[in-house]
């Protein structure tokens, strides 16, 4: 079984889905001959040609808008937005249209597209290259939000996302692209959307994370009897896995690299308070980035949760 990093695993998922289904096409900036700025689409242009790997003009709203038109006409477009910080011009298309095609047309048309975008810290890039604005999309009914944390999961989740009949925002932690390798089988396997996984079992505290924060969280959990949940899909999210863990541990720490206010941690925290409060032995704690404009390289490590901040929260919550 090949040992692949995240970039290679995603590339493999795209290649296999394109082989399987002629209606899958890729569009975006530099996705063709260049193979994408992170090389995620490398080799696909040579294999599938300019008809299916479409280098578009530089136009985020146009890319997503055109992908919507392709999807409603019967293709399965996978649009790449080069960095999540560049997705703002396309928000109108995602929020006003992709999420509403099915509802607005009362089921006559659907919009089976995937928008892939690298997100998050760790690549020491200029402004607008390291944002983590998943909550914007989780607050939008009609789109699904998927965040893989390992190469194996990335492939299985991307295959499910491409086959999903609804629009999926697929977030790839840029920091993880080449950080970890693992065995990734060739050929078809899917991981269902909407399911979390227990990345580490434990019984004294539940720590919830996703994407690149999962790996810091696993590191921070060492030495504790901590259960770590990898969300994998943020919208719709897996309430059952979370509540079952809360019942077991009674303590919850949520870790994310987006700012605290109205981040997805707020949703999880409120949901646990509503539905599992009687199992809690301590307040739900959030370890997040600060409520500031995403800083560039020199300060990004201060901005984002690190192992010591996560451990501090765990120590704090264990005192209750």
Separation CA 154–CA 211 (nearest Å): 10
Residue 97 catalytic? no
CA angle (99, 64, 70) in 5-degree steps: 85
Out of 37, 39, 62, 260, name the contact with other proteins by CB under 8 A: 62
As measured in angstroms, the least distance from the Cβ of 140 to other proteins is: 10
| Residue 113 vs 220, nearer CB to other proteins | 113
- Each residue 104-143 as x (binds other proteins by CB under 8 A) or -, in order, gives xxxxxxx------------------------------xx-
- Each residue 14-53 as x (binds other proteins by CB under 8 A) or -, in order, gives -----------x-------------------------xx-
If one asks whether residue 56 binds other proteins (CB under 8 A), the answer comes out as: yes
Which residue among 129, 139, 215, 256 is the active-site one? 129
| Residue 54 vs 136, nearer CB to other proteins | 54
| Residue 107 vs 223, nearer CB to other proteins | 107
| Residue 240 vs 315, nearer CB to other proteins | 240
- Each residue 238-277 as x (binds other proteins by CB under 8 A) or -, in order, gives -xx-------------------------------------
For the record, the structure tokens of 189 come out as: 């396997």
Separation CA 320–CA 318 (nearest Å): 5
Closest CA to 11 of 55, 59, 57, 45: 45
Separation CA 6–CA 150 (nearest Å): 7
Counting residues that bind other proteins (by CB under 8 A) gives 46
As measured in angstroms, the least distance from the Cβ of 86 to other proteins is: 14
Phi, psi of 273, rounded to the nearest 5 degrees: -65, -35
Out of 15, 30, 42, 66, name the contact with other proteins by CB under 8 A: 66
What count of Cα atoms within 13 Å lies in the side-chain half-sphere of residue 137? 32
Phi, psi of 171, rounded to the nearest 5 degrees: -100, 125
Burial of 259 (0-12, 13-18, 19+ CB in 10 A): buried
Ranges of H-type helices in the chain: 6-20, 44-48, 60-73, 88-96, 101-104, 134-138, 151-163, 213-221, 239-249, 264-275, 297-303, 307-318
User: Which residues lie near other proteins (CB under 8 A)?
Assistant: 25, 51-52, 54, 56-57, 59, 61-62, 64-75, 77, 89, 92-93, 96-97, 102-110, 141-142, 144, 164-166, 194, 236, 239-240
- The catalytic residue positions are 129
């Amino acid at each position: 079984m090949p040992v692949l990093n995240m970039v290679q695993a995603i590339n493999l998922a795209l290649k296999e889905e394109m082989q399987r289904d002629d209606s899958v096409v890729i569009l975006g900036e530099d996705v063709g001959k260049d193979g994408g700025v992170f090389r995620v689409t490398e080799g696909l242009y040579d294999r599938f040609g300019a008809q299916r790997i479409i280098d578009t003009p530089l136009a985020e709203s146009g890319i997503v808008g055109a992908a919507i038109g392709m999807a409603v006409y019967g293709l399965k477009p996978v649009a790449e937005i080069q960095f999540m910080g560049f997705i703002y011009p396309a928000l109108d298309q995602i929020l006003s249209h992709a999420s509403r095609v099915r509802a607005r047309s009362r089921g006559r048309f659907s919009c089976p597209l995937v928008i892939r975008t690298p997100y998050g810290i760790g690549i020491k890039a200029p402004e607008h290259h390291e944002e983590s604005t998943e909550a914007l999309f989780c607050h939008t009914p009609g789109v699904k939000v998927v965040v893989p944390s390992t190469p194996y999961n990335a492939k299985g989740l991307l295959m499910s996302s491409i086959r999903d009949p609804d629009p999926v925002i697929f977030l790839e932690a840029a920091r993880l692209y080449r950080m970890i390798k693992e065995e990734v089988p060739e050929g078809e396997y899917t991981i269902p959307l909407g399911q979390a996984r227990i990345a580490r079992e434990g019984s004294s505290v539940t720590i919830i994370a996703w994407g690149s924060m999962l790996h810091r969280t696993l590191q921070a959990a060492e030495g504790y009897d901590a259960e770590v949940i990898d969300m994998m899909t943020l919208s719709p999210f897996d309430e059952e896995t979370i509540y079952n863990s809360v019942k077991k541990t009674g303590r919850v720490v949520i870790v994310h690299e987006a700012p605290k206010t109205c981040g997805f941690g707020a949703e999880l925290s409120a949901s646990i308070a509503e539905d599992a409060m009687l199992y809690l032995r301590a307040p739900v704690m959030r370890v997040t980035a600060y409520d500031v404009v995403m800083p560039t390289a020199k300060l990004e490590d201060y901005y984002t949760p690190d192992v010591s901040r996560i451990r501090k929260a765990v120590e704090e919550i264990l005192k209750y």
